[in-house]
Structure 1
């Protein structure tokens, strides 16, 4: 079948366009995104300095309007008025697909109330990019950014840990370092992919088992996109720690780290690492 690229459905009509922009490498922008941005009367963006670099690169002259989490509610009536006047308005974020852990949902819902047409312009997404190279299950749950409060994080991890799919989240390196203990506790027997600076010059992909996780020695720049693999099918999940194992752990707990004890016990035992780790953690917390 030959697609009709000249179909009237492909023409840029008035309404709101949710335009995906590159997550790093500017060459990843789509031809359709460039076309829509060029024909837009206004482009709503998070940071005008970042968006101007993108627009200048592709000779796009559309007017930029700052639209970030601190002013999107204040902008709402003005933007809706513009859209009702049959203008073409595009919404972009600093990187990736708008409204995915970025401003956008408030405006989109207001457009729905006012029966204003909304059009998605697909493109780059840190979530799908990370999943595509993970080698994990293609069933995934996107969590978004970690909450500020550690108690809320533990509460959410408890729910996420029982899902039979991989989990994707965004996080700063500093926050990631602080959350390693919780990640190990809830996802111990899984694999993890840490993506940094994707599509940029210094992009880095770290693949490791969760139990081997160590903090970054220095905080690298930028946000991390992290994928935790789906649950491991534990054939030996019914096996529990023997009293002899518990005694050995009790003797080692003052001298060795939980990680070292878990590795040692698991070498001569069929007990799941999570079972060993949780018992060590229990002993530590009892002190």
Structure 2
């Protein structure tokens, strides 16, 4: 049995009772960073064996993990924050478990893009999640494609690249496309900054950026249709 267990994206209280129960009961926890997961487990007084499982070793150990699962061991996959498999390791192991008839269960829980989307003030009825933009190869091609996307667009970004990405989006989407930048979600200094791409680029260029970023961008307008947005300084 393999469990995918979401972990808090900031505030340690944002974990479900069921998630804590699973983490206590499994034989082994696969952790993206054992130091981060140890902090969470220690907070809830859970003592459990941890094995590193991340993008640099998942291809090497996946068959070994499948063999252990076939022998009857139960495992939980956790990442540093949020739901495993969403721009984080898990897909490869889940796919192999499905191929080998091993039961997989994903618990509901924290995912950064959901609160960022809901409080953005940008339409939530239809959206597309693109994760991180390619840093180099294929970046312009994707931006050209996304510029025509009519659904709300969700991106993840690092604080070091946010200003560059906002500039690239301005180039392909136009200065006046509305967007929202959420950072430090669920933490003490959470910020949700809304405005046009031009306004957001200016703001974060002057202020600087800290924390993990979720970027919500309004979809392209259909001819003859105009969506009203409310800017918010908070």
TM-score by length of 2: 0.89
Give the one of 134, 140, 148 matched to 1:162. Answer: 148
Q: Which moves more between the two structures, 223-232 or 118-127?
A: 223-232
Deviation at 1:223, TM superposition (A): 2.1
The answer as to whether partners of 1:190 and 1:232 remain within 8 angstroms in 2 is no
Deviation at 1:222, TM superposition (A): 2.6
Which secondary structure state, in structure 2, belongs to the residue aligned with residue 115 of structure 1? coil
Q: Which moves more between the two structures, 72-81 or 16-25?
A: 72-81
Which one scores higher on RCO, CA 8 angstroms, separation ≥ 6? 2
**What does the per-residue CA deviation read over 1:61-101, in whole Å, with 9 as the maximum and x for residues that have no partner?**
22111101111111112211211111110001000000100
Deviation at 1:158, TM superposition (A): 1.0
Deviation at 1:217, TM superposition (A): 3.4
**1:160-239 map, 5 Å:** 160-188=146-174, 189-212=176-199, 213-214=201-202, 215-217=204-206, 219-235=208-224
Distance in 2, Cα, partners of 1:227 & 1:89? 34
CA RMSD of aligned residues (A): 1.7
May I ask how many residue pairs the two structures share in their alignment? 222
The equivalent of 1:271 in structure 2 is none
Deviation at 1:157, TM superposition (A): 1.1
The answer as to whether partners of 2:3 and 2:105 remain within 8 angstroms in 1 is yes
The answer as to whether partners of 2:82 and 2:109 remain within 8 angstroms in 1 is yes
Give the one of 58, 68, 75 matched to 1:82. Answer: 68
Distance in 2, Cα, partners of 1:77 & 1:186? 43
Deviation at 1:234, TM superposition (A): 4.6
Structure with the higher helix share, 1 or 2: 1
From the superposition, tell whether residues 228 and 172 of structure 1 become closer, same or farther in structure 2 (CA, over 3 Å): same
Which secondary structure state, in structure 2, belongs to the residue aligned with residue 95 of structure 1? coil
TM-score by length of 1: 0.73
Distance in 1, Cα, partners of 2:13 & 2:99? 36
Unmatched runs of 5 consecutive residues or more in structure 2: 227-234
Distance in 1, Cα, partners of 2:56 & 2:211? 21
From the superposition, tell whether residues 198 and 216 of structure 1 become closer, same or farther in structure 2 (CA, over 3 Å): same
Distance in 1, Cα, partners of 2:208 & 2:65? 38
Q: Does 1:148 align with 2:139?
A: no
